[in-house]
Amino acid sequence: MRRLAVVVPKPDSQTAIDGLEAEGVYDDRRKVCEHDADHVELPVTEEPASVPFERAIAQDDPDPRAPDLDDLLRERGWTDAERDRAPSSWAVLGSVILADFGDCPRPGEAGDALLSLHREADTVLDRGGVDGEHREPVVSVVAGVGDTETVHVEHGTRYAMDLAEVMFSPGNKAERARMGDEVTRGERVLDMFAGIGYFALPMARAGAQVTAVEKNPTAFRFLAENAQLNDVAETLDTILGDCREVEASADRVVMGYYDALGGPVAGDDPGYLAAALDALDAGGMLHVHAAVPEPELWDRPLGRLRAGCERADRAVEILDRRRVKSHSEGVFHVVLDARVD
């Protein structure tokens, strides 16, 4: 039986799949197949109208897609109890699959099964959290070739990274896209904790003039590379250093560091909010990220933001507050959007 597929570059595969699903032409009954070293074949019911692809081809006797990891592991002889300990979720970032394996039995076998499900990937990593002042990831290779460098494409933004050296949170996908929608062309933005460009890149691609500050030299190297990769070097000014020492004037400030308002102890003020308010013009927008235990929602982040604005003699209006994702057991990643006069 001959079925239709479109050929796309491997780094663009996940974005293409998202677009094909949105258009209603992605055929999830078939597997994604490798076309050559640089391309994959994505199964479709008809040629897409809005998703870019290099060419359409007919597949002869295509392989059916395994429904999910659980079914695939069952076929490979895993017991019910063993499958209960397999990863329940994972993220495909370019050519790398990132998952929490925990106490999974035979993680190498589970990793091989994930590679069978996602032919566009060639490496599986076990995510073990982050460590140190620069929040460096702790990962280990579970299966595949072990290449931790990749380019992940998300809503058209290309993120080059080494997942063994820099942090990337798949759960922040919607927030990254939202920041690109929030800004206006020519708006001046200060991103105080830019990382590899999580928020800075979508905002610069939307036409904002972004100053992106990062003190981790490895993350900064990828930030500068990503500015070139996304053709925004003209609108994205990258600075290696401590954001508290950067002089800027901004219409919008992004504080994407969980402890920017201070640690668990009340009054533990690292001075980031004061620096943000120094840079933010009157009437400007402030986006504050925090990791907060559920019993302290929303008192802790709101209280600290308001207290910091009061110390700076600035009026603050909270426009929105939302949970981005679960950070850990009983702790949530949240964001406050505020206008500061």
Number of residues that this document lists for the chain: 341
**Residue in the block written with tokens 């990220």:** 289
Which residues lie closer than 8 Å to 80 by C-beta, 6 or more apart? none
Structure token digits, residue 188: 């001046």
How would you classify the pairing of strands 250-255 and 280-293?
A: parallel
Q: Measured between alpha carbons, how far is 193 from 213 in angstroms, rounded to an integer?
A: 6
Tell me whether residue 21 is annotated as binding.
Answer: no
Tell me whether residue 326 is annotated as binding.
Answer: no
Tell me whether residue 169 is annotated as binding.
Answer: yes
Q: Measured between alpha carbons, how far is 67 from 118 in angstroms, rounded to an integer?
A: 12
Binding residues: 169, 176, 214
Binding residues for S-adenosyl-L-methionine: 169, 176, 214
